[in-house]
Amino acid sequence: MSDTSPDLPTDQVFDDLLHEDRSFPPPPDFAAKANISDASLYEAANEDYLQYWTDQAAELDWFEPWEETLEWTPPHCKWFVGGKLNITHNCLDRHLETKPDATAILFEGEPGDQRKLTYRELHAETCKFANALKSLGITKGDRIAIYMPMVPEAAIAMLACARIGAIHSVVFGGFSADSLSDRINDSECKAVITADGGWRRGKFLPLKETTDTAVQATSSIEHVIVYQRDPSFDCPMTSGRDHWYHELVANASEDCPPEEMDAEDVLFILYTSGTTGKPKGIVHTTGGYSVTTYSTTKYIFDLKDDDIYWCTADVGWITGHSYIVYGPLQNGAQILMYEGAPNHPENDRFWEIVEKYKVTVFYTAPTAIRAFMKWGDDLPAKHDLSSLRLLGSVGEPINPEAWMWYNQHIGQNKCPIVDTWWQTETGAIMISGLPGHTTMKPGFAGPALPGIKATILDEDANEVTSGSGLLAITQPWPSMLRTLWGDDQRYIDTYFSKWNPSIYFPGDGAKRDDEGNFMVLGRVDDVLNVSGHRIGTMEVESALVDHPAVAESAVVGRAHDLKGQAIVAFVTVKGNTEMSDDLNNELRVHVADKIGAIARPDQIVFTADLPKTRSGKIMRRLLRDIAEGRAIGDTTTLADASVVASLQAQHADSEG
């Protein structure tokens, strides 16, 4: 393989499994009450997948019906063409008729404060804030950035935008001012909704301060709306530009009819990392996203009226969009939202919350599960977790050891586990078992969901029947991204140019067992997955070369027990700059300042040279081998072979 072609991630961890028969059929008690406990959905979808999606869509309320289910001019699609709806009607108004006083959101703040919002209250709060946005001149199609802690108002802000047809662009509260301003500028946001701050691990993180810095580097922002999380915190406001959230809604009307949105009107933009330094603005539209998040939530999380559903993601990521806000609310679920860290004040905070609220469905990430394993079996054992009936995993491959631990110590061997594979781009879960039907196998995410067609291909689009290959989605689905904001060519190049314009390339390696269960192995491009978060190697490299001392850098991932992958940066410095420990620390801080703490390199290796091919390409595979301490592969294309020995020595030193 040449150094520039994608290489498949190592799948050694999972190899044992293929030879072992470890399978977990749905527990009979669970299956007896499950929403789906047979293969009927798969059969219906296989027979006619457009009819399948038509039937799913028909379960939602539409202001006007669609004329055509799918218009597919690869790689562009339109779903439910001509249909009119508003996702907030299906999230809120619809439930007012049947269960206005049912709980919509239960909130636990990190300091221990609690709130509860019924569907009636959530509807009223959304309408008030939507009217407040209107009073500032915000209208359909305007882009609005949301940079919030995990409080109910983050969900209300998203819903209020959707109510009036404004396009939200949520930016994770852990991102830096630069990351926020880049995203604001890319889609020319007119307003930003933020908070004075939010609680994380006992500290009040000053989000408004970061917003102020970000807004200085933008020209489109007219309004900054500030939710007050802690009245005792001094939060300077810029008169004319800044508005307190509570003042705006104080006199706002609770009546705000939903804007009639076309099925293909943009609902939101969410930025995610790619293989260049510039994040991609993933565009999702209203109809298809509503339908797919609604139906996947219903079937995969098996929701019932009395469930207490808790997804531990942040609303700043796609998981928060689809499976805290839009999917569960369309299903009328009781949703738990927790503001803070899993280890504050103690490492058993999550289990304390499960016990306190009697959580029944729990959805988290493998990186968290591995941390819980490390913190000890006695912590979950201290709490009554008997309310749990279903567990989920998302964000990265779950290693079988973590799967088994999750099953035993959290699920107490009675909860099915759904390992859900999907992406920001797919909008909704694509590969997962159905908990009342599928026999789960640790390490395997499961089969493609009904209505989704996935396979494994090689570079030449041949189907791979044994061993690993590239995951491919071979037919459009309603919640697929429609384009990249302002860059349709990049959309075509990134996702639909690998084989042919009808096949979506997700960028993951995978293999499959005889029953059609997919084992997803990880990224095959220059994107890292650190604690379930996507980080582009180029983003980190750009942040490093932005530092005046850095001449060149190359960033790779190496396997990490807790995070999945850790970031290792190889750096050459300018002129006679001293390659000191101080500079090493300064560079790590610099990257965190430029991007956000999630991108801080775990290790920086100073080197006099980077290994390059004779044509000048950095040999990343070789750097990955060095970072992971593996035997070095083929170096015949290397311009200067002596670089390798010195790099290995430097790497060993810096690990020291």
Binding site for ligand PRX (CB under 6 A): 272, 318-319, 394-397, 419-424, 445, 506-508, 520, 522-523, 529, 534
Nearer to ligand PRX, 371 or 519 (CB): 519
| Cα diameter, the chain | 74
Nearer to ligand PRX, 396 or 625 (CB): 396
Minimal CA–CA distance to 269: which of 213, 337, 185? 185
Smallest distance, ligand PRX to C-beta of residue 14, A: 11
Phi, psi of 450 (to 5 degrees): -55, 135
Contact 52, 472 (CB under 8 A): no
Contact 355, 384 (CB under 8 A): yes
| Residue 347 Ramachandran class (φ > 0 left, ψ -120 to 50 alpha, else beta) | alpha
Smallest distance, ligand PRX to C-beta of residue 393, A: 6
Nearer to ligand PRX, 391 or 520 (CB): 520
Run of H or E residues at 211: helix 207-216
List the 361-364 sheet strands across, edge first: 114-118, 103-108, 334-338, 308-311, 361-364, 390-394, 417-420
Nearer to ligand PRX, 69 or 517 (CB): 517
Give the integer Cα–Cα distance in Å for 185 and 194. 16
Phi, psi of 246 (to 5 degrees): -65, -30
Contact 298, 323 (CB under 8 A): no
Smallest distance, ligand PRX to C-beta of residue 419, A: 5
Smallest distance, ligand PRX to C-beta of residue 504, A: 12
Smallest distance, ligand PRX to C-beta of residue 457, A: 16
One-letter amino acid identity for 223? Answer: H
Nearer to ligand PRX, 325 or 571 (CB): 325
Smallest distance, ligand PRX to C-beta of residue 165, A: 25
Start-to-end C-alpha separation, the chain: 33
Give the integer Cα–Cα distance in Å for 309 and 631. 46
One-letter amino acid identity for 631? Answer: A
Q: Do the bridges between strand 334-338 and strand 308-311 make them parallel or antiparallel, or are there none, so unpaired?
A: parallel
Nearer to ligand PRX, 335 or 535 (CB): 535
Tallying the residues shown for the chain, one arrives at: 656
Nearer to ligand PRX, 266 or 313 (CB): 313
Nearer to ligand PRX, 197 or 397 (CB): 397
Give the integer Cα–Cα distance in Å for 8 and 525. 9
Smallest distance, ligand PRX to C-beta of residue 452, A: 14
Instruction: Please identify the residue of the shown chain whose CB is closest to the bound ligand PRX.
Output: 424
Nearer to ligand PRX, 318 or 605 (CB): 318
